Structure 1
Amino acid sequence: MLKLKQVLKGLGRPQSALAESLKLSAATIAQLINHGQWPRSLDSADLQGRIRAFLVESGANDSDIANAFEKVDPPYVNTAGPALNEEPSGEDEPMLLPKQTLKASTRKVFGMFRDPFDELQSAKDMWVSPDIRYVREAMYQVARHGGFLAIEGESGAGKSTLRRDLINRIQENNDPIIIIEPYVLASEDNDTKGKSLKSTHIAESMMAAVAPLERAKSSPEARFAQLHRVLKESHAAGYRHCLVIEEAHSLPIPTLKHLKRILELEIGFTKLVSIIMIGQPELGVKLSERNADVREVVQRCERVTLPAIEGGRLDEFLRFRFERAGKDLREIIDESGIQAVAARLSQTGRRGGRDESISLLHPLAIGNLVIAAMNLAAELGVPVVNADIVKGV
Structure 2
Amino acid sequence: MISTDAKKQFKLFRDPFIDDIQKDADVYMSDEARYVQAAMLDAANHSGFLAVVGEVGSGKSVMRRKVIEQLKRDGTTLVIYPQMIDKSKVSVASLCQAIIRDISSEQPKGSPEDKSRQVQRLLLDRTKNNYRSCLILEEAHDLTIPTLKHLKRFYELEDGYKKLLGIILIGQPELKEKFDEARHVNMREVIRRVQVVEMGSLNGNLRDYLATKFKRVGVRIEDIFDEEAFKALDRRLTSTARDGKTKVSHAYPLHVNNYTARALNLAQEMGEPRVTAEIIEAI
Q: Structure 1 length normalisation: TM-score?
A: 0.69
Q: Which 5+ residue runs of structure 1 have no aligned equivalent?
A: 1-100, 189-195
TM superposition outliers: structure 1 runs of 4+ over 4 Å: none
Match of 2:12 among 112, 117, 137: 112
Aligned partner letter, 1:339: K
Distance apart, 1:184 and its partner CA? 4.0
SS at match of 1:347: strand
**Alpha-carbon distance in 2 for matches of 1:355, 1:198:** 43
Larger relative contact order (Cα-Cα within 8 Å, sequence gap ≥ 6): 2
Aligned partner letter, 2:49: F
Q: How does 1:336-375 map to 2 (within 5 A)?
A: 336-351=228-243, 354-375=244-265
Counterpart position of 1:140: 41
Counterpart position of 1:298: 191
Instruction: For residues 86-110 of structure 1, give each alpha carbon's deviation from its aligned partner in whole angstroms, at most 9, with x where no partner exists.
Output: xxxxxxxxxxxxxxx1222221111
Counterpart position of 1:200: 93
**Alpha-carbon distance in 2 for matches of 1:143, 1:325:** 33
Instruction: For residues 232-255 of structure 1, give each alpha carbon's deviation from its aligned partner in whole angstroms, at most 9, with x where no partner exists.
Output: 122223321000011111110000
Counterpart position of 2:103: 210
SS at match of 2:121: helix
Does residue 150 (structure 1) correspond to residue 40 (structure 2)? The answer is no
Does residue 254 (structure 1) correspond to residue 146 (structure 2)? The answer is yes
Aligned partner letter, 1:125: D
Match of 2:115 among 195, 219, 223: 223
Q: Which 5+ residue runs of structure 2 have no aligned equivalent?
A: none
Instruction: For residues 254-288 of structure 1, give each alpha carbon's deviation from its aligned partner in whole angstroms, at most 9, with x where no partner exists.
Output: 00000000001111211110000111111111011
**Alpha carbons 2:72, 2:78 under 8 Å: kept:** no
After superposition, the CA RMSD in angstroms is 1.4
Q: Which structure has the larger Rg over C-alpha atoms?
A: 1
Match of 2:65 among 164, 182, 187: 164
**Alpha-carbon distance in 2 for matches of 1:126, 1:350:** 33
**Alpha-carbon distance in 2 for matches of 1:132, 1:157:** 10
Match of 1:121 among 3, 22, 25: 22
SS at match of 1:303: strand
Counterpart position of 2:216: 324
**Alpha carbons 1:253, 1:293 under 8 Å: kept:** no
**Alpha-carbon distance in 2 for matches of 1:184, 1:289:** 28
**Alpha-carbon distance in 1 for matches of 2:15, 2:87:** 31
Distance apart, 1:134 and its partner CA? 0.5
Distance apart, 1:336 and its partner CA? 2.2
Match of 1:313 among 198, 205, 217: 205
Instruction: For residues 332-372 of structure 1, give each alpha carbon's deviation from its aligned partner in whole angstroms, at most 9, with x where no partner exists.
Output: 11122212211111111304xx5422210101100110011
Counterpart position of 1:186: 86
**Alpha carbons 2:71, 2:78 under 8 Å: kept:** no
**Alpha-carbon distance in 1 for matches of 2:241, 2:158:** 46
Aligned partner letter, 1:249: H
SS at match of 1:262: helix
Instruction: For residues 60-84 of structure 1, give each alpha carbon's deviation from its aligned partner in whole angstroms, at most 9, with x where no partner exists.
Output: xxxxxxxxxxxxxxxxxxxxxxxxx
Distance apart, 1:298 and its partner CA? 0.9
Aligned partner letter, 1:257: K
Give the % identical residues. Answer: 38
SS at match of 1:215: coil
Distance apart, 1:171 and its partner CA? 2.0
**Alpha-carbon distance in 2 for matches of 1:233, 1:187:** 28
Counterpart position of 2:158: 266
**Alpha carbons 1:231, 1:272 under 8 Å: kept:** yes
**Alpha-carbon distance in 2 for matches of 1:254, 1:160:** 25
**Alpha-carbon distance in 2 for matches of 1:135, 1:344:** 26
